[in-house]
Amino acid sequence: MRRWRNLDSFSTFLGLIRYVPYVACIVALKIYVMMLLVHSRDATTDYADYDDYVVRQKPTQPSTTTTTHEPGWREKQEILQRLNSTVIIPSATNRTPETIWLFYNRMPRTGGQTMVSLLKSLAKDLDYQHQEHVYRTPWQRLMSEEEQRNLATWFEYNFWPKSYDRFSLFINFTHHRSPYVTLRPAYMTIVRDPVEKFISYFRFKRVDQQRAKMEMTWREREKPGASRKWYWKKLKDCVLGGDPECTLKDDSDDFISAVPFICGQFDYCMKHGNRYALQKAKFHAEFEYSVIGVLEEWNKTISVLEHFIPSFFKGATQRYYSTEFETEKQVNKNPKKYKEESEEVKTALKNRMTVEYEFYEFLKQRLYKQYQSIEDLLRLPTTKLISKSTEDPSFSKWDRLDIELGRNMKP
């Protein structure tokens, strides 16, 4: 021992031994904290909001803890219990919660590129960040429970105002949020006339190179020569000839209509013509979404967004019609010009989309009522949203704030 004790390596070893208890304590503390977090996420929570999850999460014993639910929680529960027999009427109620997050679940062929460009442009002046989803998987609309929970956690770790867009079916962030979080993102999206959207999507699949390549590769594997036949297929022949791509049979899978996008992440939501899915979509549209715009009513949509979600859309109307925004718009991926489809084709498609059109008319009524509720405000003088590129250096943000406060203080 005396010989080893005089060696430098031995003294170094003894020095390291002294820190072993400290390292062990730190490791044990980290493991304990991780176990607490895992337990808090996996435990059955009694704050669970509406949806089918409530049936699964009802506690066997009455809860003695005091829980805080969102406004209107009890009304939602009562409506869900009798959803099949309830007539949901659209209203002008502003459902925007107190939040710093915005979730825009985009639908295909509904002006999403323009809306994303507008969000990015407004983010510079309204001091928030827009996050586009990076698609690393071929199918991104239907998400697993873990993926939904991870997205909810992603919002929770963003302490700066964020807007986020994704081609995704409705996600119940209230259910997937952590027990210690009280905020959830505000919801918004845009819909389009079902027939016009179907026609646009039919053409887009054959114009977009990446999408057409994937589709043709899959069809060629199934049957040699089928890829070219699919690519040169005419919409009229598809609709009137009974082609499976355009039959739209009830209970067939549907991933492009508005009903599944607003209904949510359930099997019945993705079944074409499902009446219960329609009711759930109406429920979510009325009680969860701040604004669901209509592409054919673009001016009304922008006005309602500007007044119902001002944190993300203040000055949207003025910005959209500015010459500066023309250069910021994303290029349309389907610029090819087509002939107008015949009324025979449109009528045949419309007859196969009765549920989708009922929902479309419901959303148009809701948007119209929301617009009516702000018509008086639209007549008032407004302060222009000045862009950073054209802002006068002598006119600072504090001067603009004083003007706004002074205007608001006047009787």
pLDDT tens readout for residues 63-82: 333 344 666 777 788 888 88
- Note whether 7 and 87 are same-domain residues: no
CB atoms near residue 74 (< 10 Å) = 9
The DSSP symbol for 91 reads -
- Note whether 347 and 296 are same-domain residues: yes
Give per-residue pLDDT as tens, 324-376: 888 777 666 666 678 899 999 999 999 999 999 999 999 999 999 999 999 88
- Note whether 13 and 111 are same-domain residues: no
Average pLDDT over residues 391-401: 48
Of 86-90, 139-143, 320-324, least confident by mean pLDDT is 139-143
On the question of pLDDT at 299 being above 70, the answer is yes
- Note whether 33 and 90 are same-domain residues: no
Which residue range forms the structural domain that includes residue 11? 2-42
- CA quadruple 370, 182, 124, 288: dihedral, nearest 10: -30
Give per-residue pLDDT as tens, 37-68: 544 434 333 323 333 333 323 333 333 333 44
Task: Confirm if 131 and 104 have CB atoms less than 8 A apart.
Answer: no
- CA quadruple 140, 146, 150, 151: dihedral, nearest 10: 40
Give the model's pLDDT for residue 129. Answer: 95
Give the model's pLDDT for residue 75. Answer: 79
Percent of the chain residues past pLDDT 90, beyond the cut:
59
Average pLDDT over residues 82-110: 94
Give the model's pLDDT for residue 1. Answer: 53
Q: Is residue 390 part of a domain?
A: no
Average pLDDT over residues 370-389: 71
On the question of pLDDT at 294 being above 70, the answer is yes
Q: What is the total count of domains within the chain? A: 2
- Note whether 17 and 121 are same-domain residues: no
Q: Is residue 237 part of a domain?
A: yes
Q: Is residue 259 part of a domain?
A: yes
Q: Is residue 113 part of a domain?
A: yes
- Note whether 356 and 249 are same-domain residues: yes
More confident residue, 261 or 389: 261
- Note whether 143 and 257 are same-domain residues: yes
More confident residue, 26 or 47: 26
- Note whether 246 and 310 are same-domain residues: yes
Q: Is residue 119 part of a domain?
A: yes
Q: If you average pLDDT over each of 45-59, 61-75, 201-215, 273-287, which comes out highest?
A: 273-287
- Note whether 173 and 285 are same-domain residues: yes
Provide the sign of the torsion angle of the four alpha carbons 345, 351, 357, 359, taken in this order. Answer: negative
Q: What is the CATH number of the domain that holds 315?
A: 3.40.50.300
Give the model's pLDDT for residue 410. Answer: 44
Tell how strand 162-166 and strand 129-132 pair up: parallel
pLDDT band at 285 (very low <50, low <70, confident <90, very high): very high
Q: If you average pLDDT over each of 80-84, 207-211, 227-231, which comes out highest?
A: 227-231
Q: Is residue 60 part of a domain?
A: no
On the question of pLDDT at 137 being above 60, the answer is no
Percent of the chain residues past pLDDT 70, beyond the cut:
76
pLDDT band at 208 (very low <50, low <70, confident <90, very high): confident
- Note whether 156 and 302 are same-domain residues: yes
- Note whether 156 and 283 are same-domain residues: yes
User: Across all residues in the chain, what is the average pLDDT?
Assistant: 82
Q: What is the DSSP string of 154-185?
A: HHHT--S-EEEEES-----HHHHS-TT----P
- Note whether 171 and 273 are same-domain residues: yes
Half-sphere exposure of 138 (CA within 13 A, CB side): 5
Q: Is residue 253 part of a domain?
A: yes
Q: Is residue 53 part of a domain?
A: no
